[in-house]
Structure formats: C-alpha cells, structure tokens
Amino acid sequence: MDCDRNVIIGGVMTAKAIAGISSIQMVGNGSGEVIGKIFKGKNHTVGSILHGNICDGEKIIDEVIIGCEGENSYSINCHGNPIIVENILELLKKFDVKIVDAEEIIENLAKEKFGKNIIAVEAETAAAKAATLDGAKIIQYQTKMGLLQTAEWLKKHIDLMHIEDIKVAIGQVLADSKIASYFINGTKVVLAGPPNSGKSTLFNYLCGKEKAIVADVAGTTRDWLSAKIRLKYIQAEIFDTAGLDAALSSQNVIDEQSQRRAAELAASADLVLYVTEHRTQNLEHRIQNKEILVFNKCDLGGNVSVDGFKVSAKTGEGVKELLDGIESALGVADFDLKKAVCFTDRQRKILEQSAESRCQKEVKDFITELLNG
C-alpha cells in the first residue's frame, strides 16, 4: 500500500478473539481530530496516555485507555469483548476511517519510519509474523546488514564481476534463505509409509495427545491430520497420512483418494519421515529424496539392516534422537542466524530472476528493484 497520510486507517492489532484487552490502532492526518470527537477525557499530547470513554454522541461505548504514540498515531485500548471492538470500528467508519488489517497498518507505519528502505519496511511486517524468536532476529538482521548490505555491495560492484560469480553469490543467498525460512515460517513434515507401521501412534506421541485414531487394523487412517509442534530451534507442522499401499487404491474411491492425497502431501513436504515397522522394514513406497527412514516398534525386537532412526512410538524410545535428526536434516541445527537471506516472496522472485540472467545490466536492474521496491 502506498503511504498516504491523508487517508486515515484503523484496525485491530490484537488477536480477533475474546480477550481481556483489545488494541485498535489509528494513523493518518486527522486522526487527532477523530479522537477529539469520540473520546471524552483530558486533552492528548504526543507520548501521553489518557483514560476516559469512547462515545458515540452521548452514548458511552467503552471505558478506554488512549495512547498518543506520535503525530497522527493513536492506540485505543478497550475491553476485549468482540461486540465492543466492533462498535468502536463502526464508530470510526462514521468519521471516514478506513478499516484495514493489522499488517497494512504495520506496513504504513514502517514506511513512515524507514522511507525508501523497502527491505526494512518489509521486515516490520514479516518479523511480527515470524514463527520463532530466531526467525524475527534473522529478519531484523537483513535491514542494516544481511540482505541490504549484500544487495548494496552487489549493485556497486556488479560491473566488475563475472556473471558466473554473481550467480554463485545470489545462489548462496537463495540456498541460505531456504533454511532461514524454517525459522521464519516453520516447516512441513509428513509421516508416510505402509499401513499399520505406527504412523498415527508416532503422530500422537509427537503431538503430546491423541489426535489420530489408532488400531491394529491396516488402513485405519484414511484421511490426513496435522498439528504444530515446537522443536528445539523451529516450529514444525506434522502431517499424519494414510498408509501407502498400491492394493488400497483399487478397493474404492475413498481409499484411492486417500492414497493420492498422502502422495501429494509427501511430495510437497520439506521433509518426509518414512515410517515402517522395525521387524518388516517395508520400503516399497520410499520417497527417497528429502526423506528420513524411521523404524518404528523397536520395542518388539529385531535388527535393522538399513540406516535410519530406531524408535518406539509406544514408549518414546529414540524419539528425541529422531527430533534432533529432523533439524539436522533441514540444516537448522548449526545455521548461522547472521546470514544474508531473503524473507518475502517479492525478494525471492527477484533473486531467482537475477540468478537466471546472463546480463550484468539486467542483474543490476533486478538488484535496484530489490532495494527500491
């Protein structure tokens, strides 16, 4: 959104749910005048915190605390009842305040703060949504060092560099960005493998509660379930899928769809845990790439002839080592948080176009676009 201070925008900055307190932000030229018309309390100055009432004419909507955070920037902190929040938003609309989502308000404030530094502007929004604290740290590092510094250096020296050296430098940023994305956005891990290998039992153990139906009958899971869990470094969304068995595809439409969906989820995953029973070691439907072999039910005995993780989803044996193995396979365990990475789709697409270019001038134009938006 273009930063137009003549348009007053407002929106809810807290989660849209029942809560003790909700915060509504309003920015733009004329915001102070709107506050003056709806707030009954003492006069406001920049940096002040005021206590009073939000009123629609003579009708009191709620008792609030107003924060005057800067010129034409106000926070209205009200009770978290959704009805109260909605009434205040409707009142703001009467004074031509455009109601937007929190992301647009953060972006607007960031443009005021950082001006033409588009990477810093994007960082304000992205950091607020980061899945982990380390993800937020990675993003903030890009605003003064990291991506900003790398892009500025490339733009300055690109005419003196060989095109292949440029491609290598950009390729490294893209490769590091993939790993950084696991800290910023989380990762998608899919449990796949033959029926009755204990995938759902392992899924329940990882979730810490029973979400999937577990039975000693092959093919119990006919759909997929997902849950988010916190690993040591990153957040992971774990998917439990139907057991892979070619024979099931021909039984009925439901089983055929379950088989197809399981294969699709595995193909789109960042990492697949191919779970097979410790004793049978059924590897018929292995995914091969981006895969970790998990030999479940090791509490029942038997030897493993292929490298992988021995676990018992029933007792928890070997699960900690498996979780460490997931982060090691994704490259996050020893990742340097102070690397130049891209953290938005816009940045990634520009760098991918740059890496494919054979012309230094074209690459320079792409880098200029990266910096200026």
Total residues belonging to the chain? 373
pLDDT of residue 90: 95
Q: How far apart are CA 110 and CA 124, in angstroms?
A: 6
Tokens of 226: 């997902």
Task: Report which DSSP code applies to 218.
Answer: T
Residue 11 CA to chain centroid, in angstroms?
21
What are residue 362's phi and psi, to 5 degrees? -65, -40
Residue among 252, 235, 247 nearest 184 (CA): 235
Q: Which helix H or strand E contains 77, and what residues bound it?
A: strand 73-79
Question: What's the CA dihedral at 34, 40, 43, 49 to 10 degrees?
Answer: -90
Domain boundaries, the chain: 9-113, 116-184+343-372, 186-330
Q: CB neighbours of 272 closer than 8 A, spacing ≥ 6?
A: 189, 190, 191, 192, 266, 287, 290, 291, 292
Question: What's the CA dihedral at 30, 32, 38, 40 to 10 degrees?
Answer: -160
List, in sequence order, every beta strand (DSSP E) within 125-244: 187-192, 225-230, 235-240
Q: Please, what sign has the CA dihedral across residues 99, 104, 108, 113?
A: positive
Tokens of 108: 């607007």
Per the CB < 8 A criterion, the answer to whether 62 and 40 are in contact is: no
pLDDT of residue 347: 96
Q: Please, what sign has the CA dihedral across residues 124, 128, 133, 138?
A: negative
| Partner residues linked to 73 by β-bridges | 27, 70
Residue 189 CA to chain centroid, in angstroms?
14
Q: What is the CATH number of domain 9-113?
A: 3.30.1360.120
pLDDT of residue 213: 44
Residue 171 CA to chain centroid, in angstroms?
23
Question: What's the CA dihedral at 238, 241, 244, 249 to 10 degrees?
Answer: -150
Q: How far apart are CA 59 and CA 53, in angstroms?
A: 10
pTM: 0.76
Per the CB < 8 A criterion, the answer to whether 154 and 317 are in contact is: no
Instruction: Tell me the CB-side half-sphere exposure of residue 175, using CA atoms within 13 A.
Output: 9
Q: How far apart are CA 217 and CA 248, in angstroms?
A: 13
Q: How far apart are CA 212 and CA 227, in angstroms?
A: 10
Q: How far apart are CA 139 and CA 185, in angstroms?
A: 11
Say what angle helices 163-185 and 360-372 make with each other, to 10 degrees: 30
Residues of the chain predicted below pLDDT 50: 1-2, 212-221
Say what angle helices 163-185 and 133-141 make with each other, to 10 degrees: 150
Q: How far apart are CA 172 and CA 113, in angstroms?
A: 30
CATH superfamily, domain at 186-330: P-loop containing nucleotide triphosphate hydrolases (3.40.50.300)
What are residue 225's phi and psi, to 5 degrees? -125, 155
Residue whose structure tokens are 């005995």: 301
**CA distance to 73, 109, 181, 261, per residue, from 145 (Å):** 29, 22, 18, 42
